[in-house]
Structure formats: C-alpha cells, structure tokens
Amino acid sequence: MSNHVVIMAGGVGSRLYPLSTPERPKQFLDLLGCGKALLRLTYERFLAADPDAVFWVVTSAEYVHFVKEIVPEIPESQILAEPAARNTAPCIALACWKIKAGWPDANIVVTPADAYVPDADAFGTSIRTALEFTAGSDAIVCLGIKPDSPHTGYGYIHAPAEAGKVVKVLAFKEKPSLEVAQGYLADGGYWWNAGIFVWNVKTIETELRTHAPQICGIMDELDKSFGTAGENDAVTELFPLCQKISIDYAVMEKSSEVYVLAADWEWSDLGSFEAIEKITGKDPRKN
C-alpha cells in the first residue's frame, strides 16, 4: 500500500490582505521570514514524515506556476488545476479519483498548505500513526490539536482522549463564541480541528458516494478522460458543475466512521496578522 499526500493550495488567504492577495496568496509567501514559502514548508514536513510518499497539489489554475516554482520535485502530472473554486469536497474528490486510477489501494493524507508546525518529529509520528490506523480499517482520521487558548477562529472536535491516541469523534463544533471556547478549554475533551484528514482511497470513495453522489457522478465522468489528451478539457468543462461544499459538511459531519488523533504539538493556521506576529515577533503589516 502506497502513501499519498494531497496538499490543498487553492485558497486566496483573504484574512491576510493586503499581504496575501488573490494574485499571490499566503501559501506561496514566506510569511515566517525563513526563506521558504508555506507550501514549501508543508511539503518538507510531510517528506520528513514519509520520504516514500507520493505528493499531489490541488490548486487554482492561475497558481500552477507558483507550485512548479516552489516544489519543483512534484511532477506536473501530480499538480491538479481547478478551473473554478468549488470548496474542499470537490477538490479532495478530484485528487482521490486521480489517485484511485493508478493506486487503488492507496492510503491518503489531505492537508492545507499553510499551517505552522515547528516540531517536525512529533508531527511525523502523528501522521504515521494515523496512516497505520487507516491502512487496515474503514476509518477516517482527522488530526485534533490540544488547545492552548480559547481560540474563536478554529472549529473544534469533541472527543475526550489522551494525546497520541486515536478515538471516535463525538461531534464537530463550529467556530465558537469566546465563552463557549473557554468552556471547551476547561473541559479538556475538545481539540482544534487542523483540517488534516487521513483515509484509504476505498474509504473516502465509499463515503463520498454515500454522502455526495452528485460530485461522484462528475468524478466518474472525469475518470474516463484521465491519462488522455482530453483530460484538461474535461476537467475545465465538468469540474465547475460540482456542488460547492466543504468536506466537513459533505462527509465529516455525516460519517459514522470518523476518528481523531489527539495531538499536543504546536500548530497554527496562520490565519491572522496576530498569529504571525506571535510566532515571528514581528508585525507583518510593518516593513
């Protein structure tokens, strides 16, 4: 069974405007002042976790050149260009159908391109644990991060667990008010939803067919074009017809097979100027 990493890099990073713009969003910027774009850091983090993994990037068509520039190691055939933004469920479905075509027994990690995780070793341990769990089961595993503050900008996962353990998810919670977030922090059984998902290709296909059949119908049509001269035209024509929906709403909140791997390493989605300043000690809005 081969492991695949799908990096989602299509967002416009609007919360960090004007630093992040539709012309060059945050995942293609060196926001931490380390000489590397966030996409590059994500690639290197997962490469360290599994040097044999097969990498894919899903991005908007207008950003493909950034991906080639930042991660030239990833073959062009594994850079998937979305002709229209349809949220994360169609994005993930496209990648999983492409993987399924060549690796029907694949194990897959799906991740955003723009997180900050300083402890690569602890991160790698968590990823390998999740991959081992999904390789032999029908489970979906999401990564939950132990909160260190009552953050109102993240979704939460309710699942009383010890760090390092994989347990069944009781519920997903929307971004809370400060009062509710304080309650989650005091409770100890809630985790930040990092937006990192692990599953095998058969599991996610089954879940999508059950909960998002419209998207799957389009993917089945696209599958006929994979590897042919007409693939790009087919994606351009059919992908925009997909229902616009997140993977959270399409699958995660409906499936009965969702687990969380509880992690206690440092993590941030770098979604605000304050988050960047907390890490770098510098206000990115000032030169």
- Residue pLDDT, tens place only, 11-53: 888 889 999 999 999 999 999 999 999 999 999 999 999 999 9
* Whether pLDDT at 137 is above 60: yes
User: Which residue is associated with the tokens 């479905």?
Assistant: 93
What letters, b where the CB count within 10 A reaches 16 and e where it falls short, cover 149-177?
ebbeebbbbbbebeeeebeebeebbeebe
Q: What is the pLDDT of residue 274?
A: 87
* Domain residue spans of the chain: 3-280
Cα separation, 153 vs 134, in Å, equals 29
Q: What is the pLDDT of residue 40?
A: 98
Cα separation, 148 vs 166, in Å, equals 20
* Whether pLDDT at 238 is above 80: yes
Which numeric CATH code is attached to 3-280?
3.90.550.10
* Average pLDDT value over all residues in the chain: 95
Tens digit of each residue's pLDDT (9 = 90 or more) over 153-204: 999 999 998 888 999 999 999 999 999 999 999 999 999 999 999 999 999 9
Q: Which of 105, 145, 121, 94 is nearest to 267 (CA)?
A: 145
Tens digit of each residue's pLDDT (9 = 90 or more) over 244-262: 999 999 999 999 999 999 9
Cα separation, 48 vs 159, in Å, equals 28
Q: What is the pLDDT confidence band of residue 136, given thresholds at 50, 70 and 90?
A: confident
Q: What is the pLDDT of residue 89?
A: 97
pTM here? 0.95
Backbone angles phi, psi at 224, to 5 degrees: -65, -25
Mean pLDDT of 124-153: 95
Cα separation, 245 vs 86, in Å, equals 7
Q: What is the pLDDT of residue 287?
A: 56
Tens digit of each residue's pLDDT (9 = 90 or more) over 72-99: 999 999 999 999 999 999 999 999 999 9
